[in-house]
Structures are given as structure tokens and as C-alpha cells.
Structure 1
Amino acid sequence: MLLKYKNFFSVLVLWIIFGSIIGIVVGSTTTFLLETNDYLGDEIRLKRDWLIFLLPLGGIIIGYIYMNYGKVFLNNTLNDTAKLNNLVIDSVHGKKEAPLRMGPIVYFATFITVLFGGSTGREGAAVQMGGSVAAAVNRFFKINKFDKKILMMSSISAGFGSAFGAPITGAIFGMEIAAMGKLKLEAFVPCLTASFVGHYVTTAAWGHKHEEFTIQTVPEISITTFIIVILLSVIFSLISVFYCQLRHGIEKISEKLFKKNHMKRAFFGGVIIVVFTLIVGSQDYNGRGLQMLELSFNEDVPPFAFLAKLAFTAITLGSGFVGGEAIPLFFIGATLGNALHTFIDLPMSFLAALGLIAVFCGGANTPIAAFLLAMEMFDGKGLEYFFVACIVSYLFSGHHGLWPSQQIYEPKSRLYNILRGETIENVEKSKKLENYK
């Protein structure tokens, strides 16, 4: 009995130590990511509109890096860093390994995308840098195969928690992202440690301040309001599905059209973004779009802003540029909620917040993490409504999502004839084959 407790506490202490190491390094690198993105996006790009014309050139540079330096053979397996978050998820399942170079490459590619006006976010780079850090820890300490997966999950937690100032969300996100319908609680200690340490290193040690979104008024609890929230959540979930399908569709078409030549794909995608920017007549939908995102909580924004951002982001990331997808989903959901305020007699800031969380939940397939994000982001306001919105969005988004490598541990409903352990990518392929027949 004494030996069992000794082993238990020794493993517990090791997980806390490793989680802390990952949190410190990822928190510091994420701060660098956030500060650099702010500088490139706000201080340089917004003051120099002409930089958008260099986006196709930026695409060539990104494509060249990934084609020549992004592919690494580890354990007789090809690991392509251009798979981005999907490679990190595959690493959690033990199918692939995150190369050490993955983090630096994705940071450089993200900076290029932000500087020249591609529509993107931040958490993708933070998560992939976390994967590189976890890989370094695994190699240095010669971690066993089982604990490698757990530490990879903790790296995801550290990246997300420090990128958004949401440590509780980050802890659960790292455990929830890999498999739909499964929460690996055994990883809770290192994930929680990594997320909190990463968060406090970013905010307390380095002094970075995250964006704040405030709900001015939350409607009183009523059956009518709950029905409206449910109906809106269905709409938000369908928008997330539309974005995911469009983004993956553009990726597949561009890969086929240009025979997987990343340089040509990104160049052509950059040209399309430049043309769209000229047609729109502004750069509100380039870059991260934080200004309009914040504005959507307080003032009317263009009614079709969500569609413009959806198209810009799908083309940017689908053609081979790099960055996160959470911020664009936040933008899409919040501006759609803002637009619906014209027809629905509910507070504008509440509708924007509801859209932000529900669209993200539908795309990420992480209902618990999305709910906790709402609690941390909006100080616990409207908890009953956000809980329902996350559940509804998760169910109605079906077996689609941002990351094709995400496994389906358990179907969202017994009505779906889907085998356990399938990935989103395989499920979508099988559906297309059935429709073709």
C-alpha cells in the first residue's frame, strides 16, 4: 500500500514539474507571439494599407518554408508541419510526432500572414509552439509513450490558456480537443498546471493584457428567452459548419488544382484576398479584425460583416496561409449576433457574446471548454444561457469541425451511423462516397 502511494505521488509531482516547465516556456513564447502580432497588425499594417499587395509574395515565402523545411521523418513516419493543429492532435493519439521546428516555423508564417493582411487568429501558433515545447521535454527527459500523449495535451492547454487569458478553459480544452465525446481526466493535473502557469507567465510575469469583452445586460430568465437562445444557437452552429466546410473545401480544391504545391496555392490565395479587399473597399476583414470584434458588443456593425470575415478567413487559411481560427470564429459569431439584434429584442452585447461562444463551440467540438470560456470571458454572466447554447451548437454542428484529425470517440447521437474511433476527415469522406453512389 505504501509503495502504491509513493508511486502515485512521484508521478503526480513529475506531472506538475513537467506541466510547469511547459507552461513557463509556452507562456513566454505566447507572450512573444501576442506582442509581435499586436505590433505587426496594429502599429505597422493598419498604418500602411499598401502592405496588402505583398500578401501573394508572403504566400510564396510561407509555401517555400513549409515545402522545404516543414517535413520531418521521425520514427519512420513523415510528419508534415503544414498540417498545423492536426499534426498536434495526431501526436496526442500517438500517430505522429510534433517536430521541434514546428513552433518556430508556424510563428514566422503567422507573422507574415498578419503583417500582409491575411485573415487569421492566434491560438493555432500558440498550440503548435506548445507541441514543439512538449516534444522537446519528451526527448530531453525521455518520457514514455503514454506520458508523451499527456504532456502533448498539456502543451495544448498551455497554448490556449495563455493565448486567451482563460486558464480553466485551457486546461479542459487540451483534454477535450483530441477526441469528440471524450474527456481524458487523467491528464487533468499536467493540463491544469500548464494552463495556469502559462497564463500567469503571460499576464503576471510579462505583463500582457488580453482583450476584454463585456456583456452590458443579460436578459432575465424566461422560457421565451431560452427558446430564442436555442433557435439562435442552431443558426450559429450551422454557420460554423458552413465555415469549416468552405475552408476545407478550398484547401482540397487548391491542393488538387496546384498539385499540392504550397507556394502556388498561397500565392493564388493571396491574389484573391487582395482582389476581395479592393472590392470591399476597406481592410476591416483582413488581419485579426479585433477592432470590429470589440465594436460588435457596443455598436451596429455592417450586417454582412460575418459573411465577409467567413470568406476572407476560409480563403486565407484554405489556400495555405497560417494562423489560428478561434479569433475569426469569434468575429463571425459576434458580428452575426450583432446583425440579429435588428430582428430580436435582446441586448446587443448578449447576442454578440452568444454568437461568439456558439460559433466557436460548433467549430471546435469542445462544448465544455466553450462554456468555461464564456464564464471566464464574461465574468460568469448568463451562465444558464451559455450552457444551453454550447450544448445545442455542439449537437447541431454534427460531425464536422475545424480539425479533420479530431477523433469521434462517441457519436453525438445514436441516430448517426458512425463507428467509434473514426476521424472527422474519414467520416466526411465516407459521406461523400455514399452520396456519390
Structure 2
Amino acid sequence: MIKYLKDEKIIFYDVIKWFFLATLIGLGSGLLVASFLKLLNWGTVYSESFGKYFWIAPVFFVINIILIKYLAPDAQGHGTEKVIEAIHKKAGKIKVAVIPVKLITTLLTLFSGGSVGKEGPSAQMGGGLASLMADILKFNDDDRKKLVICGISGGFAAIFGTPISGAVFGIEVLFVGMILYDDLLPSFVSGITAYYVTTLMGVVRPEYHIDFTTGMTEFFILKIALAGIAFGVCSFIFIEIMNQTERISKRIKIHFLLKGLIGGSAVILVGTFFGTETLGLGTTTVNAIFSGAKIVWYLFILKIIITSITLNFGGSGGIVTPVFFVGATVGAFVGQITGHDPALFAAIGLVAVLGGTTNAPIAACIMGIELFGVAIAPYAALACIISFFITGNRSIYPTQILAMKKASHLTTVVGREIKLIDEEIEQEEIIQEIKEQNNK
């Protein structure tokens, strides 16, 4: 009996400790994200008032490259990936310089039309704040990592206004097929706190009202399952194009500043010949879909391409908002060709492509409920899970660690990074090509 009382005392102390620490991280993350969103809203309105604002992209991309190279190399790319890498490889240590550099470079990218998202800088700001607090409090490596996970949850919850899915995302995204229950309490506290801080600071988020009973028949679930396959294939394509663009960027042997000119020039070409629908966050297009607007079928492909070029040639920012765009536009297209409400399938597509690209289907499903209401739950769950499996051993976050086999007959070894698996497959393909050439 005495032993049980001692155990309960330790548990009670731990609950109080992490409730307090997670609240602080949530407060800090919420303040940073709210400030970031206000700057973003102001700057976007100001820059777009100049008409062809995207013509400044090459200059801003070059500035980004200089800031990142000399001040904070980890601010490169889409942000959340670097936080995951820091947790797995650096015991959660994140340099404080990442916070202002990521903030500035993301704003410059978006102001000039670069296709990036908001969650990357939010995760890095939350994670960087958490790492700084761990340094001040002299935490051990395990506590530091737990605190940084709180930062991911707080940043994600605050930026999208989804406190529950934000919390779950932080503990699901690190591993493919495993949730960190040890971090459940602090992640939820941080996510909920950050969400309410941004709300109190006047951050306004769109509300969606979609009728999920429209056009439902006895074959509707089958259509959702088939759509889930399409969303999984779309996730697969997104990841592969991102990976191939990164490889191309690394193979191009030119002065590093010239890569910024390439990325900025691509933004100008897209803006000039295709319009600005796929530039920047793309939230105007997504909101229009949910309001009943029809879209051209190729928007999702164009968004994938320009996002991949932006992030690998001088741009900096997140990846989830472009994922939303791709999922919503693919879903709307599926709705149009099947005779259903495009907004309905756009909502399902948005969360299903998120679940497939990030390997976080549970967080994606919960996000669907938080954004679109509880009626989406069974359809979002089915589509997210199918998309998750169809994506295979790939991820938009290549330093995720594989903790499960997505099919029992796969020979993939669990416990390894997605990136290492991809590299081995690529090496095997190269060796096979060499053998075939030698045989000829």
C-alpha cells in the first residue's frame, strides 16, 4: 500500500510539472503564432496591392538564401521536418536563431508569391522556444524532447485553430505507426493553450458549413474508398515530386545564390501564365471551393510543382498549407466528375492528403472533425486511413522513423528513417541499371 502511495505521489508531481511547463510553451507558441499571422495578413494585403507582386520573388529568394546560409541553416525548407530531425538526432536541441530567421524568410517567401505554408515556421518557433526553455531549466535529453514535442503541438494547433488535432499531430508525426502516449498530457495542454491564446489575440479563422448528406446513396462509402485511393496516389505523387526536385537542386552545380533566381523566376512564370491561384498560401482558392466555386483540373499538379521548386530553390516556409490546397482541389475535381458536391469531397480530400503525406492519419481525421463538423468523421476516417496505406513507406517528412509495416509481406526493416529507406531503394535501382547496361 505504501509503495502505491509513493507511486501516486510521483505521478501527481509529474502531472503538475508537465501541466505547468506545457502551459508556458502553449502561451509562448500562441503569442509567436498570433504575431506571425498578423504580420502575414498585413504584409500579404500590402504586397498584393502592387499588382504583379510576384516579380519581386527572385530578389526575396536570394535574400532568404543569404539569411539561412549565414544565420540559421536549419531554417531551410519546410520547418517541421527540421524539428522532427532535431528530436531524433539532436535530443531536441534547436538554435534560437531559427525563430527570427524562419519567421522573416517565410514572410518574404509568401509576400513574393512563393508557394509555402504556415505550419513550418509555427512548429519551428514553438520547438525553438521549447528548446530555449529546456536550456534555461537545464533539462535532460528526454525532458527536452518532450518539451519540443509540446512546441510542435502548440504551433500546429495555434496556426490552424485545431487544438485537438494539433496536439495529436505532435505525438503522431515523429513515427510512422506509433503514437507517443508518454507525451499525451503536455501535448494536449500546449495545443489547447496555444489555440486559446491566438483566439484571445483576435486571430479569425474561416468557418465551413458543408452538408454531408447531399447525394448519399448505398454506394457512397464505396465512392469514398475509391476517392481515398486517389488521394493516396496524389500524396505519393506529391512526395515523389518533392524528393526529385530536391535531388535536382543538389545536383545543379551553380553558385548557391543563383538557385534563388531559379526559384523566383519559376514563381514569375507561374504567376504570369497561369495566374496567382497557386501562388502563396492558396487559401483564397480553397475557401472559394468550399463556397461552391468550380476549379480547373490541373491546379493540384501546378501547386505541387511550384511548391517543390519554391522550397528547394530559395523559398522557406511550411508544407501543410500546400497539402491542404492539393487535397481540396483534387477532392473538388473528384466531386465534379462523380456528380457530387465538390465542397464535400474537397473537405475529405484536404484531410486525406494530409494523412497520406504526413503519415498522421489520426490527427488528419480529427482535424476534419474540428474544421468541418462531426458529420465528416466516418468518411474522413476511411479516406485518411486508405490514403495513409497507399502512400507506402514515403513521407513529406523524410526523417520520420518507420515503426510499422504497412503490409505484412513487405521486407522493409522497421525502426529506420524514411530517408534511409529511400536512399537504399535509389542505390538498388542504380545498381540494377548498371547491371542491365553491362549485360547489353
Same-fold call, TM cutoff 0.5? yes
Residue 75 of structure 1 is matched in structure 2 by: none
CA distance in 2, matches of 1:11, 1:81: 33
> Which of 3, 9, 21 in structure 2 is aligned with 1:6?
9
3-state SS of 1:39 partner: helix
* 8 Å CA contact 1:91, 1:152 repeated in 2: no
Does residue 285 of structure 2 align to residue 283 of structure 1? no
Residue 287 of structure 2 is matched in structure 1 by: 294
Amino acid in the other structure paired with 1:422: R
Residue 38 of structure 1 is matched in structure 2 by: 41
Match runs of 1:289-328 below 5 Å? 289-297=282-290, 298-328=292-322
Residue 53 of structure 1 is matched in structure 2 by: 55
Does residue 133 of structure 2 align to residue 130 of structure 1? no
CA distance in 2, matches of 1:275, 1:222: 44
Unaligned runs of 5+ in 2: 433-440
Does residue 374 of structure 2 align to residue 380 of structure 1? yes
CA distance in 2, matches of 1:336, 1:391: 17
Q: 1:204-232 deviations in whole A, cap 9, x for unaligned?
A: x2021112233134347655111111111
CA distance in 1, matches of 2:344, 2:121: 29
3-state SS of 1:44 partner: helix
Residue 158 of structure 1 is matched in structure 2 by: 154
Residue 104 of structure 1 is matched in structure 2 by: 100
User: Which TM-score applies when normalising by structure 2?
Assistant: 0.93
Residue 361 of structure 1 is matched in structure 2 by: 355
Residue 74 of structure 1 is matched in structure 2 by: none
> Which of 399, 408, 411 in structure 2 is aligned with 1:405?
399
* 8 Å CA contact 1:375, 1:383 repeated in 2: yes
Unaligned runs of 5+ in 1: 72-79
Match runs of 1:22-421 below 5 Å? 22-41=25-44, 43-71=45-73, 80-82=74-76, 84-95=79-90, 97-203=93-199, 205-219=200-214, 223-258=218-253, 262-280=256-274, 282-297=275-290, 298-421=292-415
* 8 Å CA contact 1:64, 1:262 repeated in 2: no
CA distance in 2, matches of 1:214, 1:305: 23
1:146 offset after TM fit, Å?
A: 1.1
CA distance in 2, matches of 1:338, 1:234: 15
* More divergent stretch after superposition (172-181 vs 4-13): 4-13
* 8 Å CA contact 2:62, 2:314 repeated in 1: no
Q: 1:66-103 deviations in whole A, cap 9, x for unaligned?
A: 111114xxxxxxxx442632221022224352111111
CA distance in 2, matches of 1:214, 1:262: 46
* 8 Å CA contact 1:45, 1:117 repeated in 2: no
* 8 Å CA contact 2:19, 2:185 repeated in 1: yes
Q: 1:325 to 1:213 in 2, by over 3 A?
A: farther
Q: 1:15-70 deviations in whole A, cap 9, x for unaligned?
A: 111100100000010011112112222x1232222321111111111100111111
Aligned residues: 425
Q: What value does the CA root-mean-square deviation take over the aligned residues? A: 1.6
Q: 1:142 to 1:70 in 2, by over 3 A?
A: same
Amino acid in the other structure paired with 1:20: T
CA distance in 2, matches of 1:329, 1:381: 22
CA distance in 1, matches of 2:350, 2:412: 29
CA distance in 2, matches of 1:335, 1:220: 20
User: Which TM-score applies when normalising by structure 1?
Assistant: 0.94
CA distance in 2, matches of 1:30, 1:145: 26
* 8 Å CA contact 2:229, 2:387 repeated in 1: yes
Amino acid in the other structure paired with 2:405: P
* 8 Å CA contact 1:180, 1:407 repeated in 2: yes
* 8 Å CA contact 2:328, 2:349 repeated in 1: yes
Amino acid in the other structure paired with 2:33: T
* 8 Å CA contact 2:235, 2:391 repeated in 1: yes
